[in-house]
Copies of this chain bind each other. A is one copy, B any other.
Amino acid sequence: MSEGDLSWPLRRAVGLHADSVAVVDQGRAVTYAELSERVTALGRGLDELSVEAGGRVGYLGVNSLAHLECWLGVPAAGRTLVDLNFRLTEAELAFIVDDCELEVLVVDSAGLEIGRSLRLACPTLRELVRDTSGACPADCVPYEQLVADRPGDSPPALNPADLAAISYTGGTTGKPKGVMLSHANLLANARHNLIATGHRPSDRWLHVCPMFHVAGTANVFACTWAGGRHVVLPRFDAHDVLRAIDREAITHTVLVPTMLAMLLEQLEAEPDRSLRSLRHIQYAASPISPELQRRVLERFDCEIVQFYGMTEAAPTVTCCTAEDHRRGFAQDPVRARRLRSIGAPVVGVEAEVRGPAGQAMPAGEVGEIWVRGPNVMLGYWKRPDATREAIVDGWYRSGDVAYADEDGYLYLVDRLKDMIITGGENVYSIEVESALAEHEAVREAAVFGVPDPRWGEAVHAVVMVNEDRAVTEGELIAHCRGRIGGYKVPRTIDLRTEPLPKSGAGKVLKSRLREPFWAAAAQKP
């Protein structure tokens, strides 16, 4: 009757594919037998570091073998993984470390200095682990020591409902919220992805989306369960991705639309790159433009699939399938229209369009997407009020506004949450507005997304400044840079001295400010 826990995928893989290559990272290859030994040792290492059951262990860094091992090993050892977005500022990271009472943090070379600062600033954080196979500073535990074989206890018995990971997202209140994902949540999502995608032991998955995003880790467990091969790139670089596809005979990958656009650009510079091995490209995390979609379908001779989801759903909710994307759709108006959709709920997940009173909306009518399934989060860490607001009768209220067509395909039209998606990263306007408001020249600020050919949306601000204080756009941008993650900093700021337009209740009418930008974009061919 056991639903299973996050130790299952690797246990199956090592049982059936012990000698197969499990992970390739920068030329280093480990088999499933080796991976399993390292992951078991990692659990014992956490015992030695005296991390209590359920205690929080963090990772701060780019994609790597160690990063992947933390996903496979930390929850399986009965601890909770907190995978940190390395694009956040130190202050933002410190908030998260304090909020979840992080005990141990694994850092890569870029994360070392910030890790040291966090250790000074945050009382619970007592140990830094340095992810390196080279020299390790004396104030850190070498990661390779942690995963070195040693005698020790068997891994603890796990409960599917146990907390496996806390994944922080920007918050509508301006502070990040920790999404609590259980073993059952992440395992259910792995099953849903396996059903929707059909992984096989011969698959070679390229992990290039950052693993601190659930979208980046979504296929880690699915691919492991099926016994496929993980190929890890530290970060997205179009040339490196093309080279990896070619050299490692990559069959599957997940990319955000911005990455797809860069890849197409790079392919013009490297037209002879072999993409022959590619069987399946997923795109996710932000809407795709029709033009980019058309070019992707033209250039890549493989299955193209869109996934839609969110951290709170671990993340997969809907899928626009390879069948939906198959070529020749332009001649079929229904199929052409469907490519504008986010697809239909995957097997295992329920999604409904509902009105403000929670009533199901008929086809064609706009409402909020509600989501239900074994993948839906336990709730927000230490935020019972936010949890009660988000989860109603077992349904998660996504805040995304959409309508369904007659065939149940969903079309996004807006976001209830005041959120911008830029290059696959979610930015909550209020965080940016708060940062701007800290500048003494700023009287009012409204932040929203404007169309951007490369990033989907770009962060834009309209600011009312004090007339007696001279400030430039550049100064305000510089002011934000130290306070919030770089991807949140406004690309452009309109300065004005007159007040922002407001509703009768005194709320800034952001829609009126935003409208001209999107109207202009809609007129483009």
Contact = CB atoms under 8 A, between A and B. Distances in A.
Contacts of A194: 195, 347
A198 B3 CA distance: 21
Interface stretch (A9-17, A421-429, A479-487): A9-17
Given A3-B188, A3-B374, A8-B350, 16 more contacts: A1-B182, A1-B376, A2-B372, A2-B373, A2-B394, A3-B3, A4-B373, A11-B350, A12-B345, A12-B347, A16-B407, A18-B407, A191-B348, A194-B195, A195-B198, A198-B198
User: Interface size bucket, A side?
Assistant: 35 or more
Number of copies: 2
A323 interface: yes
Interface in A273-325: 323
Interface string A193-217: 0110010110000000000000000
A39 interface: no
5 contacts: A1-B374, A1-B377, A1-B378, A2-B394, A17-B407
Most B-side CB within 10 Å, residue of A182, A345, A407, A408: A408
A226 interface: yes
Interface in A387-442: 394, 407-408
A225 interface: yes
A344 interface: yes
Interface of A: 1-4, 8, 11-12, 15-18, 182, 184-185, 188, 191, 194-195, 198, 200-201, 225-226, 323, 344-345, 347-348, 350, 372-374, 376-378, 394, 407-408
A11 B347 CA distance: 11
5 cross-chain pairs, A with B, having the tightest CB-CB distances, nearest first = A15-B408, A16-B408, A194-B195, A3-B374, A198-B198
A508 to B, nearest CB: 36
A417 to B, nearest CB: 21
Nearest to A375: B1
A225 B347 contact: yes
A12 B185 CA distance: 20
Nearest to A185: B1
A405 to B, nearest CB: 10
A226 B408 CA distance: 14
A2 B374 contact: yes
A191 B200 contact: no
A185 B1 CA distance: 7
Nearest to A188: B3
A466 to B, nearest CB: 49
B185 A191 contact: no
B2 A376 contact: yes
